[in-house]
Amino acid sequence: GYKVRGTVRSKKDKKKMNALKELPHKENLEIVEADLLKPETWNEAVKGCQYVMHVASPFPLDHVKDENSIIKPAVEGTLAVLKAAAQNHVKGVVLTSSIVAVQSLGNSSKKEYTEGDWADLDTVPAYNKSKAMAEKAAWDFYNKLDSSVRFKLTTILPGLIMGPALISTDFTSGEIIRQLLVGEVPAIPRVNFGIVDVRNVAEAHVAAMESPQSDG
């Protein structure tokens, strides 16, 4: 196994901290504080790590008035993590992007996507835009890195992630299902999601970290 250093914005959030403390093999887990909008916090968080998985990004359920409240932490946070990774000479970074980074509204019939596909930023919602812009920023940063500090970079683009959760509330994907089950949605919406199991997503991240076939 691996020794893992995870980050939270605040260790004072007892609900989330208690869930982490109950994880199996917790003796291999260290938790430190870091914030996507505080780039100075990431160097210490990354120091001594061989690999970095950047999996966090704002995912609000409700419509946001200011799209920059989502886009700024997504883009700037991603760059802060990548800069810390380069400064600390890590071996590799796995970045959790999203299928919405490549999908545009109205092209749901498309069967296959490649590295050349990107969402149309003029037509998609703020969250979709934030994921596309964050991944583009990541690749732009990576491609400009000097070879002396370049790490391997892999991006993973899952659909809506579902499955067993460490906490029972306060996460958007779980809240979507909760509202449907308890009747808080005022109708039966005709929607569909591409869903992936959180355990498969976790396995994909580890596989990407370990396999040279997924490098950049």
Q: Which residue numbers are catalytic?
A: 131
* Element (DSSP H or E) covering residue 94: strand 92-96
Q: What residue spans of 61-125 are helical by DSSP H?
A: 68-87
Which residues are bridge partners to 95 per DSSP? Answer: 54, 155
Which residue type is seen at 80?
A
Residue with token string 């980050």: 7
Which residue type is seen at 195?
I
CB of 154 within 8 A of CB of 11?
Answer: no
Q: How many CB atoms lie within 10 A of CB 96?
A: 21
DSSP code for 9 = S
Which residues are bridge partners to 96 per DSSP? Answer: 156
Give me the DSSP letters along 151-178. -EEEEE--SEEES--SSSSS-HHHHHHH
